[in-house]
């Protein structure tokens, strides 16, 4: 197992940390026309090069200057796992030794990537491996983008990322400052060109941040991790709920819908004997019946360090039936990458605590 170095290694800034305008300014400051920025970005986002040397339509001395000034993919891939369903997961080590995970999921008509926004997480959801060691730090815009660009390079030439979910390690809305510029680059034409409607941001429900996201004028999707219909159960599962409360979360999600017109998805991890009872399904239906909402039920991904288990299939179906009959659309998320520790934060946790990890 790889031990994290204690001392941070200096690293050149990732070139895509600069947005198009900033890169054009940098070019002009170095005596090169601003349009070179578009060429550079085309090589990175469109043509998937791995080095400045491959950017053939740039003058050789300019390519050398870029290589002296910026990095492209400074993180180290410490693990690359491929599941039997062709889900791929990368564990990246950053310049300061910290680890983050990102995942590529394949479905017949979709190529979805799931990325992290923080090293660790402060929210402490009790069923999640990512929160077990708390929050270390926010990721930068470049560190967020590097995950997507590396996953994009795992795809063959004739395939492209179709969907992005910000559901990996961390609470995305706690790091909007880095996340929003990254999404902008992925969304814009000179970047990855990924439609805003194909980007979903997940949150435990930070009301002010939900409203901030709603105000930016982008059609991103919001997924609120509700996980329980009553305060006591939710506070047990998502401790930050103690300070917020379900009503405040739902009110903010209502505002998001009112401002953006985008239907809100409510995520609900089904945990046997904890939040999967028919009475809880009815309570959840009561909360969401009057709202334009969709419930995404997530079977618990096994985590060795945690004791929760997934409900049986009949129990899950009963939960879906109650919601659907009450007029609340609900689907059960397909399990992806179960044989490669694809649950959020598992691979990182097993690197940090090798003794606790089971063989895969």
Please give the Cα distance from 117 to 178 (Å, whole number).
8
Closer of 128 and 186 to ligand SF4 (Cβ): 128
Q: Return the active site residues.
A: 101, 344
Among 19, 112, 130, 296, binds ligand SF4 (CB under 6 A): 130
Say if strands 118-120 and 330-332 run parallel, antiparallel, or are unpaired: unpaired
Give the closest residue to 144 by CA, choosing from 122, 113, 111: 113
CB 192 within 8 Å of CB 45: yes
Q: Is 176 in the site for ligand SF4 (CB under 6 A)?
A: no
Closer of 191 and 205 to ligand SF4 (Cβ): 205
Each residue 96-115 as x (binds ligand SF4 by CB under 6 A) or -, in order, gives --------------------
Q: Is 32 in the site for ligand SF4 (CB under 6 A)?
A: no
Please give the Cα distance from 152 to 78 (Å, whole number).
18
Tokens of 8: 């941070």
Stretch binding ligand SF4 (CB under 6 A), from 5-13, 106-114, 124-132, 319-327: 124-132
Question: If you search the block for the tokens 């680890």, which residue do you land on?
Answer: 99
Stretch binding ligand SF4 (CB under 6 A), from 32-40, 120-128, 191-199, 273-281: 120-128
Among 23, 89, 114, 131, binds ligand SF4 (CB under 6 A): 131
Closer of 121 and 252 to ligand SF4 (Cβ): 121
Among 344, 347, 349, 352, binds ligand SF4 (CB under 6 A): 344
Among 23, 87, 147, 170, binds ligand SF4 (CB under 6 A): 170
Which residues, 182 to 211, sit near ligand SF4 by CB under 6 A? 204
Please give the Cα distance from 112 to 43 (Å, whole number).
22
Q: Is 174 in the site for ligand SF4 (CB under 6 A)?
A: no
Give the closest residue to 205 by CA, choosing from 181, 239, 232: 239
Q: Is 169 in the site for ligand SF4 (CB under 6 A)?
A: yes
Q: Is 128 in the site for ligand SF4 (CB under 6 A)?
A: yes
Closer of 71 and 351 to ligand SF4 (Cβ): 351
DSSP labels for 220-243? -EEEEE---SSHHHHHHHSTTHHH
Q: Which residues pair with 34 in a beta bridge?
A: none
Give the closest residue to 225 by CA, choosing from 274, 279, 282, 173: 173
Stretch binding ligand SF4 (CB under 6 A), from 12-20, 99-107, 128-136, 151-159: 128-136
User: Collapsing DSSP states into helix, strand and coil, what is residue 264?
Assistant: strand
Q: Is 171 in the site for ligand SF4 (CB under 6 A)?
A: yes
Question: If you search the block for the tokens 């004739």, which residue do you land on?
Answer: 158
**Nearest distance from C-beta of residue 355 to ligand SF4, angstroms:** 22
Say if strands 99-107 and 118-120 run parallel, antiparallel, or are unpaired: unpaired
Stretch binding ligand SF4 (CB under 6 A), from 75-83, 118-126, 310-318, 324-332: 118-126
CB 101 within 8 Å of CB 169: yes
Read off φ and ψ for residue 58, nearest 5 degrees.
Answer: -100, 145
Q: Is 125 in the site for ligand SF4 (CB under 6 A)?
A: yes
Stretch binding ligand SF4 (CB under 6 A), from 116-124, 209-217, 282-290, 292-300: 116-124
Q: Is 121 in the site for ligand SF4 (CB under 6 A)?
A: yes
DSSP labels for 181-212? HHHHHHHSTTTT---GGGEEEEES--HHHHHH
Please give the Cα distance from 255 to 247 (Å, whole number).
12
Each residue 261-300 as x (binds ligand SF4 by CB under 6 A) or -, in order, gives ----------------------------------------
Summarize as ranges the residues that interact with ligand SF4 (CB under 6 A): 121, 123-125, 128, 130-131, 169-171, 204, 344
């Amino acid at each position: 197992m790889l031990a994290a170095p204690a001392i941070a290694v200096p690293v050149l800034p990732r070139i895509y940390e600069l947005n198009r305008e900033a890169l054009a300014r940098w070019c002009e400051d170095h005596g090169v026309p601003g349009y070179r920025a578009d060429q550079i970005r085309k090589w990175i986002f469109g043509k998937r090069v791995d080095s400045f040397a491959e950017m053939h339509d740039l003058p050789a001395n300019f390519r050398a200057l870029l290589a002296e000034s910026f990095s492209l993919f400074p993180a180290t891939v410490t693990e690359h796992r491929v599941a039997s369903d062709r889900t791929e997961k990368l564990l990246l080590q950053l310049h300061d030794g910290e680890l983050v995970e990102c995942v590529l999921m394949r479905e017949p008509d979709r190529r979805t990537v799931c990325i992290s926004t923080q090293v660790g997480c402060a929210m402490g959801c009790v069923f999640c491996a990512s929160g077990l060691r708390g929050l270390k730090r926010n990721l930068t815009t470049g560190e967020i983008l590097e995950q997507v660009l590396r996953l994009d390079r795992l795809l063959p030439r004739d395939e492209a990322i179709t969907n992005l979910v910000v559901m990996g390690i961390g609470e995305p809305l706690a790091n909007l400052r880095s996340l929003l510029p990254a999404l902008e680059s992925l969304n814009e034409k000179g970047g990855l060109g990924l439609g805003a409607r194909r980007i979903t941001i997940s949150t435990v429900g930070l009301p002010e941040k939900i409203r901030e996201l709603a105000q930016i004028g982008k059609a991103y999707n919001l997924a609120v991790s509700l996980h329980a219909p009553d305060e006591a159960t939710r506070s047990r599962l998502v401790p930050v709920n103690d300070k917020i409360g379900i009503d405040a979360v739902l009110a903010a999600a209502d505002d998001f819908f009112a401002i953006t017109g985008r239907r809100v998805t409510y995520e609900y991890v089904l945990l046997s004997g904890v939040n999967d009872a028919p009475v809880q399904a009815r309570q959840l239906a009561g909360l969401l019946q009057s709202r334009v909402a969709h419930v995404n039920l997530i079977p618990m991904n096994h985590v060795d360090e945690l004791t929760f288990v997934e409900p049986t299939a009949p129990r899950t179906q009963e939960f879906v039936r109650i919601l659907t009959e009450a007029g609340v659309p609900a689907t059960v998320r397909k399990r992806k990458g179960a044989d490669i520790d694809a649950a959020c934060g598992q691979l990182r946790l097993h690197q940090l605590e090798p003794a606790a990890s089971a063989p895969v």
